[in-house]
Amino acid sequence: MYTVSGDILRERFPHRWSSCGSQLLEAMPFYHVYPGSRCLAIGTTGCNFRCRYCSNAYIAKEDPEIQQDRMYRLAPRQLVGLARKLNCRSIIFNVNEPTVSLPTLLEVAQEAKAAAIPMGCLTNGYTTVESTEVLASIFSFFNVSLKGISARFNKTYIGIDSSRPVLRNIRTLAQVRHVEITTPIVQGANDNEIDTIADFIAGVDPEIPWHVFRLLPEDEMKGAKYPDIHAIDAALQSARTRLPYVYFHNFIGSEWVHTLCPGCGHVVIERFSLGCGGDRLKRLLCEDSRCPDCGREIRLLRENACLGDI
């Protein structure tokens, strides 16, 4: 997605989008950001990872060059205009990895800030310290995919030597931005890391919402078995005692998509899961970010509190 000429690094395909359409935030998933609102979900092509189970491999792993004919061409101002036209509360980069399109996203962020539209993203978090700072200047909220911690898992399934950069960047981002974490569970690959990941999150900030995602493996792992719901639920029992916002979804009818008050256990946000990322808000019972029962504060990004530093 980049090319170097002399000392100059250039983006190869600026202002081109593999997707741009209105979606619910719960479907991203973001559970603690503007509940029930819609965003303009955008994506480009390419990724710095090569996960064996990628569900967007046709966009993330294909040569970007050959995808250009089917890309939308929209200048940043047009993209932000589309978000306004579709009554989107925010713009969220999903599908692939934002670090492969940073110059374009910096331009979008400038336009979005002028229009008072906050931006969020899904990222694998595998970036340099400098790139993480740039990401934090663009995006007000993050869902970082923490796929696994062990070297064995990362080498075998992701193609990287170590998760250390991802862990470092989560710590950094959690200090300055709203962060949620998603862990796609692949049975037999990373389900044995559930407690280790929970310990890590508890050490950074126990109130980080954690989405444990039942992954239906695709791409190179199409033949793998589907993760067992009851086994994962059992493995999450200990994590739930340490982390107040643990979710388990990506299957129809999940019972673990509601937000409970960490103080008294009262349901403060009710959702339902249609599977395949199709989660929906049912009832928001903590409009003022407080539990209606005991008054305890509920972590919720509701205002345009931070619009990035762009």
Binding site for ligand SF4 (CB under 6 A): 47, 49-51, 54, 56, 60, 96-97, 124
Shortest CB 72 distance to ligand SF4, Å: 19
Angle between the 194-204 and 164-176 helix axes, to the nearest 10 degrees? 40
Shortest CB 258 distance to ligand SF4, Å: 27
Distance, CA of 212 to CA of 227 (rounded, Å)? 11
Specify whether the CB–CB gap between 23 and 41 falls below 8 A.
yes
Shortest CB 262 distance to ligand SF4, Å: 30
Of 47 and 170, which CB lies nearer to ligand SF4 in the complex structure?
47
Of 167 and 301, which CB lies nearer to ligand SF4 in the complex structure?
167
- Token representation of residue 175: 């200090």
Shortest CB 120 distance to ligand SF4, Å: 16
Of 96 and 183, which CB lies nearer to ligand SF4 in the complex structure?
96
Mention every residue, 6+ apart, whose C-beta is less than 8 A from residue 21.
40, 41
Of 56 and 250, which CB lies nearer to ligand SF4 in the complex structure?
56
Shortest CB 52 distance to ligand SF4, Å: 9
Distance, CA of 112 to CA of 90 (rounded, Å)? 9
Distance, CA of 33 to CA of 303 (rounded, Å)? 9
Specify whether the CB–CB gap between 103 and 14 falls below 8 A.
yes
Of 124 and 127, which CB lies nearer to ligand SF4 in the complex structure?
124
